Amino acid sequence: MRYQLYYWPMIQGRGEYVRLALEDAGADYDDAARHGDGMSAMMRMTEARKGTPPFAPPFLKAGKLVIGQTANILLYLGARHGLAPKAEGGQLWVHQMQLTIADFVLEIHDTHHPLGPTLYYEDQRAPAKRRTEEFWKERVPKYLGYFEELMAEGGGSYITGRRATYVDLSLFQIVAGLRYAFPKRMKAFERKVPHLVELHDRVAARPNIKAYLASERRIPFNEEGIFRGYKELDG
C-alpha cells in the first residue's frame, strides 16, 4: 500500500517524526503536499466535517483510513512496520513515550513563541528569553533525563532493547533539533545524556535513515519550524 502523508512542505515540524518512521521502514509513501495540488487537497481535507476529518497536519492517508496526530500515526505505522513491540503492552508503552515526546515538542516550540503562535517572534523576544532560561534550567533536564535513565536502565541499543522503535527515531530528531536551535547550550548539556547522544548516532547510521538524511527529501532545519536557531536564546 502506498501511503500519502500530508504536512507543510516547507518545514520538518511534527511531520518529520512520521517521515522518519516511513523512511526507516522503507515504506512506499508520497509526501503529498510537496507537489502538484497537494497543498490544496490538504486544506480541503482539514476543512471537511464528514467522516473522520483531521484537525490539522500531519495526517496520513492509508487506503480508506485518514489518521491524524503524530503519535496516533506512529501507533498505526509502528505495529505494521516492525517499529513497535508485538505485544499490546509494549505497543502502549512506546505510544506512551511518544506522547511524552509530544509534550516536550510543545515546550520546545514555546521557547520562541511563549505568548502564542499567532504573534511574531519579534513581538515576544523578552518573554522568549525568560522562557528559554527556565526551559534549559528545569524542563530539558526533566525530559531528557527521563529518557536517559530509561536508556541506561534498559542497557540495550534502543529504548526498548535490541530493536529500534519509532520512539528511537523521534529521540534522534529531538537531539538533532536541539543541536540546531541551541548549539552552545546543547553541547554543554550532552555530557549529562551520553546514552541519548549514542542513540542519536546509532539512528543516524541506520542505512535507510542515513540515505534519507543525505537526500533532498530531508528538509533542512529553518526558522519556520519547531526548532529555530535564534542566537539570542542560546545563552
Task: For residue 1, name the pLDDT band (cuts at 50, 70, 90).
Answer: confident
Task: For residue 25, name the pLDDT band (cuts at 50, 70, 90).
Answer: very high
Q: What is the pLDDT of residues 157-166, one digit of tens each?
A: 999 999 999 9
The domain in which residue 101 lies consists of: 88-205
Task: For residue 43, name the pLDDT band (cuts at 50, 70, 90).
Answer: very high
How many angstroms separate the CA atoms of 85 and 91, rounded? 6
Grid cell listed for 52:
473522520
Task: Identify whether 129 is part of a domain.
Answer: yes
Task: For residue 218, name the pLDDT band (cuts at 50, 70, 90).
Answer: very high
* Residue 7 pLDDT exceeds 90: yes
Task: Identify whether 149 is part of a domain.
Answer: yes
Task: Identify whether 173 is part of a domain.
Answer: yes
* Residue 190 pLDDT exceeds 90: yes
Task: Identify whether 99 is part of a domain.
Answer: yes
Task: Identify whether 168 is part of a domain.
Answer: yes
Q: What is the pLDDT of residues 59-113, one digit of tens each?
A: 999 999 999 999 999 999 999 999 999 999 999 999 999 999 999 999 999 999 9
Those residues whose C-beta lies under 8 Å from the C-beta of residue 13, and which sit 6 or more positions away, are 7, 58, 225, 226
Where does the chain have alpha helices with state H? 15-25, 38-47, 70-80, 88-112, 125-134, 140-154, 166-181, 183-189, 194-204, 207-213
Grid cell listed for 107:
515546550
Say if CB 191 and CB 183 are below 8 A apart. no
Task: Identify whether 178 is part of a domain.
Answer: yes
Task: Identify whether 62 is part of a domain.
Answer: no
DSSP string covering 156-191: SSBTTBSS--HHHHHHHHHHHHHHHH-HHHHHHHGG
pLDDT of residue 226: 97
Those residues whose C-beta lies under 8 Å from the C-beta of residue 120, and which sit 6 or more positions away, are none
Say if CB 23 and CB 217 are below 8 A apart. yes
Residue 26 falls in which region: left (phi positive, over 0), alpha (psi -120 to 50) or beta:
left
Task: Identify whether 153 is part of a domain.
Answer: yes
Q: What is the pLDDT of residues 134-168, one digit of tens each?
A: 999 999 999 999 999 999 999 999 999 999 999 99
Q: What is the CATH number of the domain that holds 104?
A: 1.20.1050.10
Q: Give me the number of domains the chain comprises.
A: 1
First vs last Cα of the chain: how many Å apart? 47
Residue 170: count of CB within 10 angstroms of its CB: 28
